[in-house]
């Protein structure tokens, strides 16, 4: 069952609403007062108060409400009888109500732009053509409007020019949503240059950066001001294979393993600029200072452990616990608590060798 049925509707258009009688409730449109099927308690005569003419529901249909409810609607000025007041009853539907409920979507989409529009959008962002046949942002926005709620995560495994991220940011700006996106993109053959290029950073991610921060010279107000938001950019590193590590073959570099253990342990973005290999420091997370005792050398790994001497080299406690990765440890729980250390053994028992 869809618990968000009311969410997956399109915004109603205001152009069909007007207020010819200056109703204090605002703009309205006239809907038919009859409904499908024949129901005795919804079948009764309605008299046009302006002409005295009597109306019954059309053949095979009934009125939308009971007679008592109809009388209440009439008193409330929600029943009209055509533009000149001489026809059958109609029910006022106010723009304020329709705006909340939205419109039921159809499967015929002719209002979502074209790849030409998508190309023009990119040219406004980059100042030139950088990608063939990009999707228009409003197409993805419509899909998101119909299929997501304000806090959903949207995954695009073929991110291309980054339209999905652009659409998510744009929609969040419009409705103050908190949608998040995950984009995946590999190197791709660029028909414009005839080369295989790293479009993920130069086009996909760069587009997201620019629409977040804004483009000073853009004519479009949204592009000029920026959509706001944040994102993190990651590259897929070389695989760390357990069998190779256990055999002492192809050990990862300090930086590669630091990247792996930092993100695995904290779930936060790793910044290689923060690494101080001499101090065994690999970065700060919200909760931890993270340290790694490691060298891509089997003898070092066999001989290295977290000792009291090494614990003291971490320096004074600065408010964050220390998360320490090492091949082994020679400290008991009391010392770990005293030095505010959470100890983690290196993944895959990296210090061990197969016999």
Q: With H, G, I as helix, E, B as strand and everything else as coil, classify residue 4.
A: coil
Phi, psi of 91 (to 5 degrees): -105, 130
146: region left, alpha or beta (phi > 0 left; psi from -120 to 50 alpha): alpha
Q: Which residues of 87-101 are buried (b: 16+ CB within 10 A; e: fewer)?
A: ebbbbbbbbeebeee
Q: What is the mean pLDDT of the chain?
A: 87
Q: What is the pLDDT of residue 11?
A: 64
Is 12's pLDDT higher than 70? no
Q: What is the pLDDT of residue 260?
A: 84
**Who contacts 209 (Cβ-Cβ below 8 Å, separation ≥6)?**
none
Comparing 206 with 111, the larger pLDDT belongs to 206
Q: How far apart are CA 116 and CA 119, in angstroms?
A: 5
Burial class (CB within 10 angstroms; exposed 0-12, middle 13-18, buried 19+) of 294 = buried
14 band by pLDDT with thresholds 50, 70 and 90: confident
Q: What is the pLDDT of residue 63?
A: 96
Is 105's pLDDT higher than 90? no
Q: With H, G, I as helix, E, B as strand and everything else as coil, classify residue 75.
A: helix
User: Does an H or E element contain 147, and which?
Assistant: helix 137-147
Digit-coded pLDDT (tens) for 27-39: 999 999 999 888 9
Digit-coded pLDDT (tens) for 222-244: 889 999 999 988 887 766 665 55
Digit-coded pLDDT (tens) for 241-295: 655 555 556 788 899 889 888 988 888 888 999 999 999 999 999 999 999 999 9
Structure tokens given for 48: 């046009």
Question: What are the C-alpha distances in Å from 242 to residues 245, 267, 350?
Answer: 5, 21, 8
Q: What is the pLDDT of residue 243?
A: 58
């Amino acid at each position: 069952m869809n618990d968000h049925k009311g969410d997956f509707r399109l915004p109603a258009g205001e152009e069909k609403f007007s207020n010819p009688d200056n109703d204090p409730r605002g703009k309205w449109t006239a809907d038919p007062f009859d409904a499908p099927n024949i129901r005795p308690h919804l079948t009764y005569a309605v008299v046009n108060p302006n002409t005295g003419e009597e109306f019954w529901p059309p053949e095979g249909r009934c009125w939308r409400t009971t007679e008592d409810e109809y009388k209440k609607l009439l008193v409330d000025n929600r029943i009209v009888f055509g533009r000149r007041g001489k026809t059958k009853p109609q029910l006022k539907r106010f723009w304020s109500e329709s705006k909340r409920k939205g419109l039921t979507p159809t499967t015929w989409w002719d209002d979502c732009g074209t790849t030409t529009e998508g190309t023009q959008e990119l040219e406004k962002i980059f100042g030139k053509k950088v990608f063939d046949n990009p999707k228009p942002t409003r197409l993805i926005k419509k899909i998101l409007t119909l299929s997501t709620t304000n806090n959903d995560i949207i995954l695009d495994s073929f991110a291309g020019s980054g339209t999905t991220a652009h659409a998510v940011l744009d929609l969040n700006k419009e409705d103050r949503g908190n949608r998040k996106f995950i984009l995946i993109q590999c190197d791709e053959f660029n028909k414009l240059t005839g080369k295989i290029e790293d479009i993920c950073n130069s086009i996909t991610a760069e587009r997201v950066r620019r629409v977040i921060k804004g483009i000073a010279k853009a004519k479009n107000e949204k592009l000029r001001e920026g959509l706001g938001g944040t994102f993190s950019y990651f590259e897929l590193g070389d695989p760390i294979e357990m069998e190779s590590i256990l055999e002492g073959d192809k050990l990862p570099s300090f930086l590669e393993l630091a990247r792996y253990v930092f993100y695995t342990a904290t779930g936060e973005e790793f910044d290689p600029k923060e690494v101080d290999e001499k101090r065994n420091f690999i970065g700060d997370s919200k909760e931890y200072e993270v340290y790694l005792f490691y060298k891509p050398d089997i003898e070092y790994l066999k001989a290295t452990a977290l000792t009291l001497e090494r614990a003291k080299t971490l320096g004074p406690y600065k408010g964050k616990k220390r998360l320490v990765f090492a091949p082994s440890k020679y400290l008991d729980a009391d010392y770990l608590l005293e030095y505010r250390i959470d100890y983690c053994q290196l993944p895959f028992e990296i210090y061990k060798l197969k016999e």
